[in-house]
Amino acid sequence: MTTVIHAVIGYFWLLFTVRFLTRRPGAQMTPFEFVLVFLMGGVIILSIVGNDRSETNSVIAVMTVGLLHRLVSALAVRYRGFAAIVEGIPVVLLDRGEWRTDVMRKMKIQETDVMAAGRVKGAKSFDEIRYAILERLGSISIIKQKE
Amino acid sequence: MGGALRGIFGYCFLVLMVRIAGRRPGKQMAPFEFVLIFFMGGVTLTPMVGDDQSLSNALITITAIALTHYAIAWLKQVSPTFARIVDGTPLVLLRKGEWQTETMLRMRLQDDDVMSMARDQGIQSLDEIDYAILERNGEISIIPREESD
Amino acid sequence: MPLQTKPVEDTVPKINNEVAVGEDLDFQRAWWRVERGIWIFFLVLIIADLLGAFGRGWLAKAHATTQDKSLDVSYERIQRYSTPSILRIKIPGSIVHDSKAQLWVSEDLVKSLGNQRVVPHPDRSVLGRNGILYTFPVSTPPMTLQFALQPTSIGTNHISFQSPGFERLDLKIWVMP
């Protein structure tokens, strides 16, 4: 029984911790963030497994988390507000020649990050970029100026 | 040895769980999904090791998992039905201006998810999309509307 | 050696005769039904686990006594492989002679259920009769003995307890993998 409770609490705690920890420019996680992920996952595992090494315990824990994940996904689809809390929403960084400075500051993104994303799409300079949008997962989408 | 049996069972169970737990849409795995995957793998390994922390148990368990992985891959080659069950099938989300609402609902996707993928390709709005397809691995492929004048 | 080749044909089914997708909606609909069934099954299993049906919970707790009240055992009837579990036996004054009480336990308690230790420590343990005969010092009855179990045998396990001269108590313990 403690397994299920631990699993539920662990899942939500991890969900929100990762949510607030990582919304970095660029789509990749830094090596340090990988380490953090391993660390946090590992700690939760130890607390759930405890001294119970039976297959039963592990199966129940995995089932619980799987079911939770599914439930959270379903709720995120039904309720946009819930999705905003759990996943975040895309935000505009560059809007037709103007930087959204407050957003850039809050999300700790520099202009060079946006240009790097732009270069991936073949943009040579800022005036080739019409919109730059920070997506939920941290990647920056570039919409180029129409010819 | 317990490790081998648990290894085989654990592997198959994980394949099942990952298949049905579903992915949040996106080109790459979200950090949280990493945590989840690591968690599920980590919890599953604890009974395989159990109290037996010997090297032989570890090697036998790893071998059992690798063999099961190979066996599943071979089965997928041999039986398309099996491959369909394990991997799934691509699904159409948006077809020429019409959302496939049943699929969207069942796969727990919103229009935001499709648009997010589209923006990544530089598309500005939904009407520029010809087809949106949910691939088997959870990615969404966007086929933009041809410029036709 | 010549390369093995095959000309590209339209093997991936198209939709609208335009985009080669290879969608199989019939299969997918069946799969959705199966998925739903699996989730409901999982939910049932989790609820069963919460209730203790798989050990470590309310349903697993059990209590057994002999008719002549010589032994009173509290234990878990469902346990898990290599997971610690405590089995308690209450010893009444009726089986105490000279401040000592004798208790015979069947060998499966050690062999299958992996008994690690007994609290309090017995004065004597004698192997025999497919089990162990313990002699415990008892100053003020009733006293509770604790056996620390860590099961090693999956499935049904039978163990027995008996104080010599009194009734025997047979228990069945199921061990989950």
Same domain, B108 and B60: no
**The pLDDT of residue A63:** 92
- pLDDT higher at A103 or C61: C61
- The verdict on B81 and B112 lying in the same domain is no
* B60 shares a domain with B27: yes
User: Which residues, including other chains, have CB under 8 Å from residue C79's CB and lie 6 or more apart?
Assistant: C55, C60, C85, C113, C149, C151, C173, C174, C175, C176
For C37-142, list the strands marked E by DSSP: 61-65, 72-76, 78-80, 85-91, 96-97, 100-106, 117-119, 124-128, 131-137
Six-digit token pair at B29?
């795995």
Residues sharing a CB contact under 8 Å with residue C1, sequence separation 6 or more, in sequence order: none
User: Residue C106 and residue C162: Cα distance in Å, rounded?
Assistant: 9
Among the partner-chain residues A53, A63, A73, the one whose CB lies closest to the CB of B46 is: A53
User: Is residue B149 very low, low, confident or very high in pLDDT (cuts 50, 70, 90)?
Assistant: very low
Res B20 pLDDT > 60: yes
Chains in touch with C (3+ beta-carbon pairs under 8 Å) read A, B
Mean pLDDT score across all residues of chain B: 85
Question: Under an 8 A CB cutoff, do A2 and C56 touch?
Answer: yes
Best of C12, C15, C28 to mutate (most B CBs within 10 Å, chain B):
C28
Q: Which domain holds residue C21?
A: 14-51
Whether residue B69 sits in one domain with residue B9: yes
Residues C75 and C35 in one domain: no
Any C CB within 8 A of B143 CB: yes
pLDDT at C172: 93
C114 and C43 assigned to the same domain: no
Nearest to A15 among B26, B32, B116 (CB): B32
The whole-angstrom separation of Cα A40 and Cα A21 is 12
Instruction: State the total domains in chain B.
Output: 2
Here the ipTM equals: 0.80
Can you give the pLDDT at residue B99? 87
Check A51 against C50: CB less than 8 A apart: no
Nearest to B21 among A44, A49, A69 (CB): A69
CATH at residue C113: 2.60.40.10
The identity of residue C98, as a single letter, is: D
Task: Specify if B149 maps to a domain.
Answer: no
A60, C46: Cβ pair inside 8 Å?
yes
Nearest CB partner across the interface for C22, out of B20, B90, B131: B90
Does residue C32 sit in the same domain as residue C65?
A: no
Using a CB-CB cut-off of 8 Å, the residues of chain B touching C13 are: none
Tell me whether residues A70 and B20 touch, CB distance under 8 A.
Answer: yes
The residue extents of the domains of chain A are 2-87, 91-144
Mean pLDDT of C85-96: 90
Instruction: Using CB atoms, pick whichever of C52, C55, C83 lies closest to residue A53.
Output: C83
Same domain, B76 and B118: no
Question: For residue A3, what are the contacts with CB-CB under 8 A and spacing of at least 6?
Answer: A48, A52, A57, A60, A61, A64, C49, C56
Q: What percent of chain C has pLDDT over 90?
A: 41
Backbone angles phi, psi at A79, to 5 degrees: -120, 110
Q: Are residues C67 and C105 in the same domain?
A: yes
Other chains touching B, judged by 3 or more CB pairs under 8 Å: A, C
C64 and C117: one domain?
Answer: yes
C41 touches chain B (CB under 8 A): no
Q: Are residues C82 and C109 in the same domain?
A: yes
Going B34 to B35 to B40 to B46, the CA torsion angle's sign is positive
Contact yes or no for C50/C57 (Cβ under 8 A): yes
- Residue B6 sits in the same domain as residue B61: yes
CATH code, B101: 3.30.240.20
Q: How many domains does chain C have?
A: 2
Q: From chain C, pick out residues whose CB is under 8 angstroms from the CB of B131.
A: 15, 18-19, 21
pLDDT in tens, C152-163: 999 999 999 999
In terms of CA atoms, which chain C residue is nearest residue B91?
Answer: C23
Residue C5 belongs to a domain: no
d(CA A18, CA A33): 9
Residue B76: domain span: 2-87
Report yes or no on C156 lying in a domain.
yes
Q: List chains adjacent to chain A, taking adjacency as at least 3 C-beta pairs closer than 8 Å.
A: B, C
Letter string b/e over residues A43-58, b meaning 16 or more CB atoms within 10 A of that residue's CB:
ebbeebbeebbbbbbb
Do A51 and C80 make contact, defined as CB atoms within 8 angstroms? no
Q: What is the DSSP letter of C59?
A: G
Q: How confident is the model at residue B143 (pLDDT cuts 50, 70, 90)?
A: confident
Tokens for C68, please give them: 């002549």
* Residue C92 placed within a domain: yes
Q: How high is the pLDDT of residue C170?
A: 93
For residue A26, name the pLDDT band (cuts at 50, 70, 90): very low
In this structure, the answer to whether residues B95 and B83 fall within a common structural domain is no
Give yes or no for B136 touching C (CB within 8 A): no
Same structural domain, C153 and C120: yes
Q: How many Cβ contacts (< 8 angstroms) between chains B and C?
A: 42
A66 contacts on B by Cβ (under 8 Å)? 17, 20-21, 40
Q: What number of other Cβ atoms are within 10 A of residue B3's Cβ?
A: 25
Fold of the CATH domain A91-144 = CRO Repressor (3.30.240)
Residue A64 dihedral angles phi and psi, to the nearest 5°: -60, -50
Are B10 and B81 within one domain? yes
Query: Across the interface, which of B13, B35, B49 has its CB nearest the CB of A14?
Result: B35
| B11 within some domain | yes
Task: Name every chain C residue with its beta carbon within 8 A of the beta carbon of B92.
Answer: 15, 21, 23
Burial class (CB in 10 A: 0-12, 13-18, 19+), C91: buried
Q: Which positions 69-98 of B are in contact with A (Cβ < 8 Å)? A: none
Q: Tell me the nearest-neighbour CA distance from C76 into chain A, angstroms.
A: 14
Which of A1-5, A14-18, B44-48 is predicted most confidently?
B44-48
pLDDT in tens, B80-127: 889 988 888 888 888 888 888 888 888 888 787 888 888 877 788 888
User: Would residue C2 count as lying in a domain?
Assistant: no
- C125 and C84 part of one domain: yes
Please name which of B34, B20, B32, B16 lies closest in space to residue B107, comparing C-alpha atoms: B20
